[in-house]
Structures are given as C-alpha cells and as structure tokens.
Amino acid sequence: MRGNESISPTVYMIDDDPNDVLIIRRLCESVGLNVESFISPQDFLMQARSIESGCIVADLMMPEMTGLQLHAELKDSRTEIPIIVVTGHADARTCRNALRDGVFDFVEKSFNPHDLLVVIQSAIEENSKKITERQLRERAMKQFENLSKREDEVMKLLVTGMTLKSIAGELGISVQTASKHRLRLFEKLDVQNEVELVKLLMRIDPALPLNGYSAA
C-alpha cells in the first residue's frame, strides 16, 4: 500500500479505542478511501517519514501521547501530512491555539459522519495540492539547472524588465547574441515569454539558491 500512496491517498487513524477506529474506518471505506489504523502514536511515528499522501485522524487524549503532541512531533520532523484531531475534551482556547499551530481541524467526538467526511476529504485535497506544488517546484529547479552561465545571466536581467538592447550593453554582447540566449533559455524552460518565466521562477522556494538567483 505504501508504494501506491501517490495514487491512492490514505487516512491514517490513530486512536487507542477500537470502537472509534471501527466507526471512522467504515465511514472512510464507504467512499472508497484507504484506511490504516494505529493504536499507538509511537507506532505511527516509526513510519511517518515515509508517509506523504492522505491525512491523519488522531484522538486528542491517548495514554502515550496526545493528538497535539503527535502534531508537534510531526511538525518537528517536517512531516507535512495534515492532521485532524478528534476530541471530546478540548476547550475553545486549546482548539484556537492548535489551529494557529497548524492542526488542520478539530472535530467533536459527537461528530456528524457527513461533516467528518467533508473535513477528511478537504484535508486530503489540501495535501494533494501541496504535493503537486512541490513536484512542480522540483521540476522547475531541474529545468533551471540546464541553463548555461550566460543564459542564467540573461534570465536574471530579463526578469528585472530590461530590454534585449540593455541586456546586450550590460553583458558586452550584441543584441542578436542576447536574443539567441533568450530564445535558448525559453526553449530549455519551456516558456513563451517573460511573464511565463516569472511564473516559473515563483514556483521556486525563495530560500533555495538557484544558480545564484533568488526569486525573492
């Protein structure tokens, strides 16, 4: 099942109460979602690094670790799969602080099955969008790695709004040569114009170096 996560998102159910696990499992499976259940947060954390697609549904109060402590562990390890906390004990302040800290949602244990399913599907959709964005970002970075030093220089100047004539003067080359470099870098990056070039650059995390260029 792990190898198919990118195709079939999985709901990871973490709860020490087998009755709660069974209810949510049946709910998810009724709409064709894969479910994996764990009675121990520690057992789940042993596998968490290899998990990418889907969402987590965790009980707030568990003997070894609370759902919020589990979220903190996942956050520290930079595991970005969204977590939904199911609770019958949290107050408004706890809920508010957790949501600010990145918990996807809080759901009362007296949940309406349809409402919980909507939250689960929303979490999976958000996770899928993040995976797609990351894949596009990684693809863009590989495209930029194919640029020559001169093409990279021309690109940096293009995105500042400079004309080919100005770029040629800045680099000490002819306008025709600057135009050829522009054409080649557009072909390598699969863009048609400067607007598409800027959009491609914006897919790159500004904190990541890219041939000396920062999109920030």
| pLDDT, tens only, 124-176 | 999 999 888 888 888 888 888 889 999 999 998 998 888 999 999 999 999 99
How much is the pLDDT for 3?
A: 38
The pTM of the whole model exceeds 0.75: no
Query: Right CATH number for 146-201 from 2.60.120.10, 1.20.1250.20, 1.10.10.10, 3.10.310.50?
Result: 1.10.10.10
CA–CA dist 177, 113 (Å, integer): 64
Indicate if 146-201 has the same CATH topology as 2-135: no
How much is the pLDDT for 213?
A: 43
Structure letter (DSSP) for residue 32: T
Helices assigned H by DSSP within 9-88 = 18-29, 41-45, 67-76
CA–CA dist 168, 170 (Å, integer): 5
Q: Count of CB atoms within 10 A of residue 201's CB?
A: 20
Least confident of 16-20, 86-90, 105-109: 86-90
Q: At what angle do helices 149-158 and 164-171 cross, to 10 degrees?
A: 130
* Whether residue 117 has pLDDT greater than 50: yes
How much is the pLDDT for 127?
A: 92
Residue 207 burial (C-beta neighbours within 10 Å; 0-12, 13-18, 19+): exposed
Of 144, 178, 150, whose CA–CA distance to 162 is shortest? 178
Of 194, 113, 118, 196, whose CA–CA distance to 156 is shortest? 194
What phi and psi, each to the nearest 5 degrees, are found at residue 167? -65, -45
Per-residue pLDDT, averaged over 20-32, amounts to 90
Q: Does 213 or 87 have the greater pLDDT score?
A: 87
Q: Does 183 or 200 have the greater pLDDT score?
A: 183
How much is the pLDDT for 206?
A: 54
Of 148, 158, 167, whose CA–CA distance to 211 is shortest? 148
How much is the pLDDT for 18?
A: 87
- The pLDDT mean for the chain works out to 85
Q: Which residue ranges make up each domain of the chain?
A: 2-135, 146-201
| pLDDT, tens only, 30-73 | 999 999 999 889 989 988 877 878 999 999 988 888 899 999 99
Helices assigned H by DSSP within the chain = 18-29, 41-45, 67-76, 92-100, 113-145, 149-158, 164-171, 175-189, 194-201
Highest mean pLDDT among 14-18, 50-54, 132-136, 199-203: 14-18
Q: Which CATH fold would you assign to the domain 2-135?
A: Rossmann fold (3.40.50)
